[in-house]
Amino acid sequence: MGRAYVYVILGGGVSAGYAALEFTRRGVSDGELCIISEEPVAPYERPALSKGFLLPEAPARLPSFHTCVGANDEKLTPKWYKEHGIELVLGTRVKSVDVRRKTLLSSTGETISYKFLIIATGARALKLEEFGVEGSDAENVCYLRDLADANRLATVIQSSSNGNAVVIGGGYIGMECAASLVINKINVTMVFPEAHCMARLFTPKIANLYEEYYRAKGVKFVKGTVLTSFEFDSNRKVTAVNLKDGSHLPADLVVVGIGIRPNTSLFEGQLTIEKGGIKVNSKMQSSDSSVYAIGDVATFPVKLFGEMRRLEHVDSARKSARHAVSVIMEPAKTGEFDYLPFFYSRVFAFSWQFYGDPAGEVVHFGDYEDGKQFGAYWVKKGHLVGSFLEGGTKEEYEIISKATQLKPAVTDLEELEREGLKFAQTV
Ligand code: FDA
Ligand code: NAD
């Protein structure tokens, strides 16, 4: 015998928190909803871990960043879940799921049954071992996915003041952590295989501007190469990294951000998997009609592009969560999930937003000289499909978001370049 719930959310990250709030708004009853999570804390805003959490002065700490403060909404503390009759099963890993029987088996040996399951298992950080490099279990090699990782990184940062850090990976984790390390007075060298940072999104021109700024802050870049091995002291602490191009970099601290893998393994062979995620329809419903998937683990149809996508960003986690709950609680009133992809980042004094799809031809606009406000549009098959803006106001971001959603026709790229932000304003 085990416990039985009407609704079970598997995973206790960003999307779980936003789903819980939506359940209460749509009238879930006491004892109907359970969240089961491997993490020992209630859902929180994961983006804080690479930003406010790593600050040397007055760093962000829980309970200040529990969901859903990131969307300027209620802060759901453990007390909130109790008051709303939501069972929060923390520090508990789900070992297996039987989709046909509608049951989960926890690491404590308990069986939990559901009528509706929402998969919100997110993703795990890729390990260097998966690329043939051993030693990433050393105490001064840090990954960053959850609170435990962030606590460890903060401790290692404290003991590395004025020391050397090597940051492996030029994506989001690499860029945001490098900025945080500099703010903590640590010398940073970034190592990544591509020709420029943020290669999945930035154009060379955009990347160059950020890289120049990082260089002015003392950051060194070693591009076009990867790590091949670590060197250790007698306590198995890493003292240096060796790169494929032959360079040798002394290191008091290594931060690794080389991408993620969605946590789908519990469902392989039971649900349809596509593009690395659980395939869902525009109702966030998987190939089993009682099972929904949200956040980083879900591959869903992005109507605007007519394609299945899996996104790894917080806005999509929040909105897909709300949508799935709305479908489950009020199916007749809920339409299709019509989502405009939205990514953002904040590093040093920079802050940018991106909407849509970075595909097709690129047109840059704005002032790349003073670097205060600049942007880019992506144009595919004669239509605007993506917009990037650094240093915009709230209103300007709304304008580029609305314009991108409309996919307006673009006939003359030179005119688009001349018009810049004005183009979005007049769509
Ligand atoms: P999320 O990873 O938040 O939660 C998954 C949960 O499931 C975890 O609690 C995990 O322990 C649990 N779980 C997994 N398997 C389980 C099992 N078998 N049993 C029990 N529990 C299990 N995005 C953005 O747009 N802007 C930003 O600035 C940032 N910044 C940022 C910083 C850092 C450090 C990270 C790691 C990520 C970001 N992101 C971001 C990405 C964003 O945080 C991410 O898209 C969301 O957290 C995804 O939410 P999910 O709920 O899907 O997964
Ligand atoms: P990423 O996909 O952004 O970047 C991975 C980077 O790893 C690549 O840019 C590449 O430079 C590097 N890389 C790949 N293989 C490598 C190898 N063998 N050796 C060295 N480098 C290699 O992933 P991430 O930076 O690890 O971020 C993890 C997740 O967290 C992503 O889902 C990301 O969206 C999310 N995140 C988002 C934000 C944000 O949206 N602002 C901030 C932090 C994290």
Q: Is the pLDDT of residue 2 over 90?
A: no
9 lines ligand 1 (CB under 6 A): no
Token reading at 328: 């489950």
CA dist 283 and 301 (Å) reads: 10
Percent of the chain with pLDDT over 70: 100
So what's the pLDDT on residue 230?
98
CA distances from 128 to 142, 155, 256, 258 (A): 11, 21, 8, 8
Q: Is the pLDDT of residue 241 over 90?
A: yes
Contact residues of ligand 2, CB 6 A cut-off: 50, 131, 168-174, 176, 192-194, 199-200, 226-227, 257-260, 312-313, 343, 345
Mean pLDDT score across all residues of the chain: 97
> What average pLDDT score do residues 177-182 get?
98
Paired strand residues for 281: none
So what's the pLDDT on residue 105?
98
CA dist 308 and 160 (Å) reads: 43
CA distances from 109 to 3, 30, 112 (A): 12, 24, 10
Kindly report, residue by residue over 313-353, the tens digit of the pLDDT: 999 999 999 999 999 999 999 999 999 999 999 999 999 99
Say which ligand is closest to the CA of 313.
1
Q: Is the ipTM of this complex over 0.95?
A: yes
CA dist 129 and 118 (Å) reads: 31
Say which ligand is closest to the CA of 202.
2
Paired strand residues for 255: 142, 167
Helix, strand or coil for residue 221? strand
* Angle value at C-alpha 351, between 345 and 354, nearest 5 degrees: 60
pLDDT band at 66 (very low <50, low <70, confident <90, very high): very high
Instruction: List phi, psi (to 5°) of 18.
Output: -70, -35
Cα 38 to ligand 2 centroid, rounded to whole Å: 23
Q: Is 49 exposed, middle or buried (0-12, 13-18, 19+ CB in 10 A)?
A: buried
User: Residues, the chain, total?
Assistant: 427
8 A C-beta contact, residue 212 and residue 206: no
Helix, strand or coil for residue 233? coil
Kindly report, residue by residue over 129-178, the tens digit of the pLDDT: 999 999 999 999 999 999 999 999 999 999 999 999 999 999 999 999 99
8 A C-beta contact, residue 42 and residue 147: no
Q: Among candidates 119, 114, 116, 103, which has minimal Cα distance to 289?
A: 116
38 lines ligand 1 (CB under 6 A): yes
Helix, strand or coil for residue 327? helix
DSSP H or E run through 256: strand 253-256
> What average pLDDT score do residues 214-232 get?
98
DSSP H or E run through 425: helix 421-425
pTM for the predicted model, two decimal places = 0.98
Residue that is written with structure tokens 């993506």 in the block: 386
Ligand 2 atom 21 nearest Cα: 169
Could you count the other beta carbons within 10 Å of the beta carbon of residue 391?
A: 18
Kindly report, residue by residue over 348-362, the tens digit of the pLDDT: 999 999 999 999 999
Token reading at 34: 């359970």
Percent of the chain with pLDDT over 90: 99
Residues contacting 401, CB < 8 A, separation 6+: 340, 342, 353, 355, 387
Cα 145 to ligand 2 centroid, rounded to whole Å: 11
Q: Is 27 exposed, middle or buried (0-12, 13-18, 19+ CB in 10 A)?
A: exposed
The best mutation among 192, 202, 223, 346 to test binding of ligand 2, ranked by most ligand atoms within 8 Å of the C-beta, falls on 192
Q: Is the pLDDT of residue 186 over 90?
A: yes
The best mutation among 296, 339, 343 to test binding of ligand 1, ranked by most ligand atoms within 8 Å of the C-beta, falls on 296
8 A C-beta contact, residue 39 and residue 13: yes
CA dist 308 and 217 (Å) reads: 40
CA dist 113 and 298 (Å) reads: 22
Type of residue found at 71: A
Token reading at 349: 């004094």
* Angle value at C-alpha 391, between 387 and 392, nearest 5 degrees: 60
CA dist 281 and 294 (Å) reads: 11
Residues contacting 385, CB < 8 A, separation 6+: 304, 305, 356, 357, 359, 360, 378, 379, 404, 407
404 lines ligand 1 (CB under 6 A): no
Pick the atom of ligand 1 nearest to 343's CA: 25
Ligand 1 atom 37 nearest Cα: 47
pLDDT band at 94 (very low <50, low <70, confident <90, very high): very high
Ligand 2 atom 28 nearest Cα: 259
* Angle value at C-alpha 120, between 114 and 126, nearest 5 degrees: 140
Token reading at 206: 């955009």
So what's the pLDDT on residue 1?
63
CA dist 29 and 32 (Å) reads: 6
Cα 110 to ligand 2 centroid, rounded to whole Å: 35
CA dist 58 and 55 (Å) reads: 7
